[in-house]
Amino acid sequence: MNYIGSIGRFIKKQSAARLITTGFALVIILGSILLMLPISIRDGVDVKYIDALFTSTSAVCVTGLISIDVADNFTIFGRFIVAALIQIGGLGVTCIGAGIILAARKRIGFKEMLLIRESWNVKNYNNMVTLVKKVLLMTLCFETAGTLLSFCVFVRDYTPLQALGVSAFHSIAAFNNSGFDIFGGMRSMIPYADNIMLNIVTSLLIFFGGIGFLVILDVINTRRFKKLRLHSKIALVTSVSLIIAGTALLLITDDMPFLCAFFQSVSARTAGFSTYSAAEMSSASLFVMIMLMFIGASPGSTGGGIKTTTFFTVLCTLKSSATNQRCTAFRRKIPNEIIKQAFTVTSLSLIVVCVMTLILCISDPQNSFMQNLYETVSAFGTVGLSTGITPDLSLAGKITIIITMFIGRLGAFAIATLWFFKKPSYTVYTEESIAIG
């Protein structure tokens, strides 16, 4: 009992960031073990542990990169495990845990509230239980609607029961911004590139899953753009602008249909579904996709990347510096602390991408620099798009991508604070200028 009590005290002393990181790591390891069970693997298929670990990491980090095809290698049970891992990863380990506590009619304690706050980047603890309930209900509604609408498409190619399973998996993957599919052959949504209904349904699920739960709740409560919080306004405007700009740039840089360009622009924002092969894209189009993947979705969502609000803040700050004005948006001043955090997140993210791309170039020199960069940014942004090199990566290459996906899901800033966070220093030093530029 003393041993158990010591573990409890040790856990209470850990920061919220460390507990969340540990929770994600444990779920990934458990998922990889479940995927290695005979009941999860199809007859006659040999699945290596590194591939099971890769799949589990990609699912929990809602990425979608795959070293082996889910439909071709895993049974229905295995696909169910992948879907469950996507759901846990999308909502967050803490939210799922809080949901289970509420279902058991237990009380959520202060520590659990702190974990949820850190996971969703919520600034206060007000109505945290209500927030969890609304998020879970919202997720259920979106995924149920997505399943029913997708079923109308898939029932043409599958039996009703199979179509229901494929629709449910697709809806979960789309809303959680994870590019997994169970169509087989690692084709993603290319066979449905011309299906307008499935493209629109998937795009809407991706958009609402990536815009952030708090933004959706803010829109529902206010119903007027002028009354929205500054965070919601920035997230909405930036997201829509990136989709429009991405579509236009893809049409300019490549010869692809408008529907494909639009879908790729939406999907590049951390979803990972594809209706147009990346192997057929020009270098300019791949670079456009890389920029969209790096920016990613909005805070408090199921997506990754540096986030839309971070990107907006960096641009706003650069503009204000060039014009010698204050950094403002929608008649509100952005705090200096937020500006500092935005540049820190962007800088750390660029460092992670550069380092991981270098390692991948060393471990897998058979791939071009653009292919390795595209793979790395896709992993960091938890996107899941690939030029097709993922299955052929070396062991070191797969481990590199696994680590990149994990860092991308939790955030480079959060990972850095696990070890480098210190108490603020009150020592005052003499100020001295340095030359810049």
Contacting residues for 6 by C-beta, under 8 A, at least 6 apart: none
Please write the tens of the pLDDT for every residue from 255-292. 899 999 999 999 998 888 999 988 889 999 999 999 99
What mean pLDDT do residues 324-338 have?
90
Res 146 pLDDT > 90: yes
Ranking 152-156, 212-216, 273-277, 301-305 by mean pLDDT, the lowest is: 301-305
pLDDT class of 217 with cuts at 50, 70, 90: confident
- Specify the pLDDT at position 213: 84
Res 47 pLDDT > 70: yes
- The larger pLDDT score, comparing residue 241 to residue 221, is at 241
- Specify the pLDDT at position 386: 92
Neighbours of 112 (CB within 10 A): 18
Please write the tens of the pLDDT for every residue from 366-410. 999 999 999 999 999 989 899 989 999 999 999 999 999 999 888
- Specify the pLDDT at position 7: 46
What does the domain layout of the chain look like in residue ranges? Answer: 2-420
Q: Is 332 helix (H, G, I), strand (E, B) or coil?
A: strand
Q: Are 303 and 243 in contact (CB under 8 A)?
A: no
Q: State the angle between helix axes of 230-253 and 213-222 in degrees (0 to 180), rounded to the nearest 10.
A: 120
Please write the tens of the pLDDT for every residue from 50-74. 999 999 999 999 888 999 999 999 9
Q: State the angle between helix axes of 160-175 and 128-154 in degrees (0 to 180), rounded to the nearest 10.
A: 140
Query: How high is the mean pLDDT of the chain?
Result: 86
Q: Is 41 helix (H, G, I), strand (E, B) or coil?
A: strand
- Specify the pLDDT at position 39: 95
- Specify the pLDDT at position 208: 92
What mean pLDDT do residues 141-167 have?
94
Of residues 400, 303, 298, the one with CA closest to residue 352:
400
Neighbours of 160 (CB within 10 A): 10
pLDDT class of 113 with cuts at 50, 70, 90: low
pLDDT class of 4 with cuts at 50, 70, 90: very low
pLDDT class of 359 with cuts at 50, 70, 90: very high
Res 111 pLDDT > 60: no
Res 314 pLDDT > 80: yes
Percent of the chain with pLDDT over 70: 84
- The larger pLDDT score, comparing residue 3 to residue 318, is at 318
